[in-house]
Structure 1
Amino acid sequence: MTMSTFSIRGTFRGAIAALAFSTTMGLATAQAADAITAYTSYEEDEIAAFLARAKEDMPDLTVNVLRLSSGDLHARILAEASNPQHDVIWGWAVTSLIDPRIGELTEAYSPANIDRIAPQFRDPNGKWFATTGYMAAFCVNDEVLKAKNLTMPTSWADLVKPEYKGEVVMPNPASSGTGYLMIASILQMMGEEKGWQYLKDLDANIAQYIKSGSRPCNAASEGEFAIGASFALRAIKNIAEGYPITMVIPSEGAGNELEANALMAGSKNKDAAKRFLDWTISDNAVNEYYNWKEIVTATGGTMPERFKSAGLPEDISSVMWKMDFAWSAENRARVLEQWQKELER
């Protein structure tokens, strides 16, 4: 008999929630299960689905999970640097993971079947590998376009056209990871001088900067504005729910963030931790990722039809901007300070 427990505590609106998920053998004759602790920034529903799949393959492994937002998790890992309380990092932003201070706490490990992950999605030194991620996309309301006789935008360059004045909403990069990856990708694509000028030109057409990464898509879906700069999965979900929108992936390339995994050097349960990391690129894991993520880096698995019908290409790397994650991490504070000074309202 297998017994599972799943509990949630904390504040969701404060972006801090701790989850504990454990799977243990209920029979007295069963051997004691292996146990690990994973720190993650995956969403609560994603964690539950992924670990339900993991239980199918590893019923004897106990996985205790602490879930925090990327920034809060970064602070916690650094605070615990002298005495890490976890065995693995799981599904955490690469922009955070490449901090050299974090790198000192991790250990190189090449999971079984690591070749399923293309080199561009893993650390050259083997310190981390990314399995999932998310990317920028526009949610464009077809009915608003028709009513106002507007053309369908296809690029970031299109969004500065005078016809879209007051019709564009996008996330505030100071509060939204999606918003920051958009700003960072624009500055990387265009170079800083042209990039900042573009952002000022774009600002003339922006109706609102919204704190959430998903809300711009929802606002466009509901017809409040013509265009919501958001992320692809939100667009795919809203299309599936029947909203009259088209998902547009900017032709220059979509800014993106990868969610990566790593082994902690200080883990006291390395065999179990490595077993879990091996599982994260297994067939069962990859198939479940496709239910939740627009970016799945591992080969194999099947992209859901609703993703393809919404306009997501099966080869997602063909539309992803090749982000310089080190630049994004190193310049985050400076970029946000300049954006808040010159553009926030």
Structure 2
Amino acid sequence: MPAAALPAVPASVAAAALREGNVVWYSALDAPALNALVQRFNATHPGITAQGLNIGSTRIGPRVMTEENAGKVNADVVSGDQLSISQLVETDVLAPLGVTPPPQLMKGSVDPQGRWIALFSETTVVAWNPEKLKADGLRPPSSLADLGKPEWRGKIGIDAAAFNWDQAVLLTQRNGADVVKRIAG
């Protein structure tokens, strides 16, 4: 989004950031992307130092909740997948952003209570080798539910840490919990 389309930071927020002098960002972005963004922020915001912590999405929610229970949340900003952010919403750890989001954002990409904004949307891709399917006597799946059928058992691979896969199945498939159980075997 062009800089001109972004909302202005309220003067009180800018003054508080300058007084504090640093911003801590827990992010699931890959390290090169996070480091580049931190460097850009530091170059364009003199007097405020951004510190990025590259942490996997599955660790963001538990870490912030542990810090909250200990009485000191170190992160000023968190970015991660829907599951990690929804954990923080459910436990009421996130504070409202305090800015009005730009109207160009897609419907549903802004929390009605102002606690989060979706910056990007991830897709999950299901890919297959047509030659292998043919050799195994399988047809391409027509839905995620097909992957839970007995003939697919032992023939698919899913990243065990990719909770967004399970979440996608739960949210998009009728009887999603049953589909997840069948796929897990």
**Normalised-by-shorter TM-score class:** 0.5 to 0.7
TM-score (norm 2): 0.66
**1:88 equivalent among 77, 89, 95:** 77
After the TM superposition, which segments of 4 or more aligned residues of structure 1 sit over 6 Å from their partners?
none
Q: Which structure has the highest strand share of the two?
A: 1
> Corresponding residue for 1:265?
none
How much has 1:120 moved relative to structure 2? Answer: 0.4
Identical amino acids, percent of aligned pairs? 20
Q: Which stretch shifts more, 79-88 or 130-139? A: 79-88
1:158 matched to 2:146: yes
1:110 matched to 2:94: no
RMSD: 3.3
Query: Closer, same or farther in 2 for the Cα pair 1:78/1:164, shift >3 Å?
Result: closer
Q: Does the 8 Å contact 1:42/1:91 carry over to 2?
A: yes
TM-score (norm 1): 0.39
Output the amino acid matched with 2:125.
Answer: A
How much has 1:183 moved relative to structure 2? Answer: 4.5
> Corresponding residue for 1:120?
108
Q: Does the 8 Å contact 2:24/2:53 carry over to 1?
A: yes
Query: What are the superposed Cα offsets for residues 176-208 of structure 1, whole Å, 9 maximum, x if unpaired?
Result: 32343244235xx3146xx42x445x44xxxxx
Q: Which structure has the highest helix share of the two?
A: 2
Q: Does the 8 Å contact 1:38/1:64 carry over to 2?
A: yes
Matches within 5 A, 1:100-249: 100-103=91-94, 106-111=95-100, 114-161=102-149, 163-172=151-160, 175-185=161-171, 189-191=173-175, 195-196=177-178, 198-200=179-181, 202-203=182-183
- Looking at both structures, which has the greater relative contact order when contacts are Cα pairs under 8 Å and sequence separation is at least 6? 1
Query: Closer, same or farther in 2 for the Cα pair 1:162/1:47, shift >3 Å?
Result: same
**2:31 equivalent among 37, 44, 56:** 44
**1:63 equivalent among 47, 50, 58:** 50
